[in-house]
Amino acid sequence: MVAALAYFLLPLVWLLISATKNTQDLFTTFGLWFSRSPQLLANVGATVTHDGGVFLRWLLNTVLYAGVSAVGAALLAAAAGYGFAKFRFRGHGAWFNLVVGAVMVPTTALAIPTYLLFAQVGLVDTPMAVILPSLVNPFGLFLMRVYAQDAVPDHVIEAARIDGAGEWRIFAQIALRLLAPGLVTVVLFTLVATWNNYFLPLIMLNDPKLYPVTVGLASWAAQAQNGGAGASGEMLPLVVTGSLLSIVPLVVAFLLLQRYWQSGLAAGSVKQ
């Protein structure tokens, strides 16, 4: 288990140590130990000011895309999951099976056709091009339906109806609160998926000002690779430091919200 832990954590330790080095030290000092003159702050400064501070912009874009996508996807999945769990309507079974069947359809296979479709309606190279496809999460719907089945008891809904509450009010004020743990799980999954997404923004966005941090870092890495000396050689510490900065927020979110991973997954993975 110690060996396992070392395997999973050492690359991140390397990243942390490397973010304190200049280009020369990256090449000449041992990767898993500090150089004589650590310069983390200088590297961070260089990273966030390079190219007119574009890195911070990328981080903000990522927060925007991932935040809007995650909250939107979770609310859509919660409403639909609640609807499928607690109501019967025409086409109920067929619709649900159609969506669950789509769980197997890979998002990447959809990305290029979605790009071609968005190109027809002028959505390409806008934030919506990245956010819209992330709002539909079939697996999230599946999880929320399973979760709503137990989390929102029928007698609670009935009692609220007898008290004269409308359907919308029952959902917004009672069901949503009971669904909260499952909701957070879907938010987390979508957040990680959108935060880490690369393929979709890569094909949808041309304007570097709109890039999320993944696409931005990859473009820097390509610059750092070209030649490796001179102006591009100075890019390497920026790529390493930028990589470190881009994972800090998500790792912190992970540590704070870790108990939600289990509760939501337990509901989805077992009761089939």
Partner 1 sequence: MGPRRAGALFVAPFLALFLLLFLAPLGYAAYLSLFQHRLIGGTVFVGLDNYLKAVTDPVFLRGVARVATFFVIQVPVMLVLALVFALTLDSGLLRLARVVRLGIFVPYAVPSVVAALMWGYLYGRDYGPFAQLGRLLHVPVPDFLGGSWLLGSLANVVTWEFVGYNMIILYAALRTISPDLYEAAAVDGAGAWRIAWSVKLPALRPALVLTLLFSVIGSFQLFNEPKLLQPLAPAVIDSGYTANLYAYSLAFTGQQVNYAATVSFLLGLVIVAVSYGFLFASNRRREV
Nearest approach, Cβ of 222 to partner 1 (angstroms)? 6
Nearest to 260 by CA among 105, 147, 135: 147
44-73 residues in contact with partner 1 (CB under 8 A) are: none
**Per CB under 8 A, does 79 bind partner 1?**
yes
Judged by CB under 8 A, the chain residues 87 through 106 that form the site for partner 1 are: 87-90, 92, 95, 99, 102-106
Contact with partner 1 (CB under 8 A) among 42, 71, 132, 156: 132
Q: Which two tokens stand for residue 31?
A: 């990767």
Size of the site for partner 1 (CB under 8 A): 92
- Report the run of H or E that residue 213 belongs to, with start and end: helix 213-225
We find the least distance from the C-beta atom of residue 53 to partner 1, in angstroms, to be: 20
Q: How far is the CB of 82 from partner 1 (least distance, A)?
A: 6
Q: Residue 106: in which H helix or E strand, if any? A: none
Give the angle subtended at the CA of 48 by the CAs of 42 and 51, to the nearest 5°.
115
Cβ 70 vs Cβ 191: under 8 Å: yes
First to last CA, the chain: 32
The residue among 193, 194, 211 whose CA lies nearest residue 202 is 211
**H or E element that contains 83:** helix 40-86
Q: Is the C-alpha dihedral spanning 103, 109, 111, 115 positive or negative?
A: negative
- Smallest separation, CB 45 to partner 1 (Å): 20
Region of residue 89 (phi > 0: left; psi between -120 and 50: alpha; otherwise: beta): beta
| Min separation Cβ 197 and partner 1, Å | 8
DSSP 8-state symbol, 33 = S
Binding track over 178-217 against partner 1, x by CB under 8 A: --------------x--xx-xx---x---------xxx-x
Write out the binding residues for partner 1, residues 7-26 only, by CB under 8 A: 7-9, 11-12, 14-15, 18, 26
Q: Please report, as residue ranges, which positions from 218 to 257 form the binding site for partner 1 (by CB under 8 A).
A: 218, 221-222, 225-226, 239-240, 243, 246-247, 250-251, 253-255
Cα–Cα distance for residue pair 72/58, rounded to 1 Å? 21
Q: Which of positions 153-182 make contact with partner 1 (CB under 8 A)?
A: 166-168, 171
Of residues 41 and 270, the one with the C-beta less far from partner 1: 270
Rounded to a whole number of angstroms, the minimum distance from the CB of residue 77 to partner 1 is 7
Q: Which of 135, 146, 151, 183 binds partner 1 (CB under 8 A)?
A: 135
CB of 112 to partner 1, least distance (A): 5
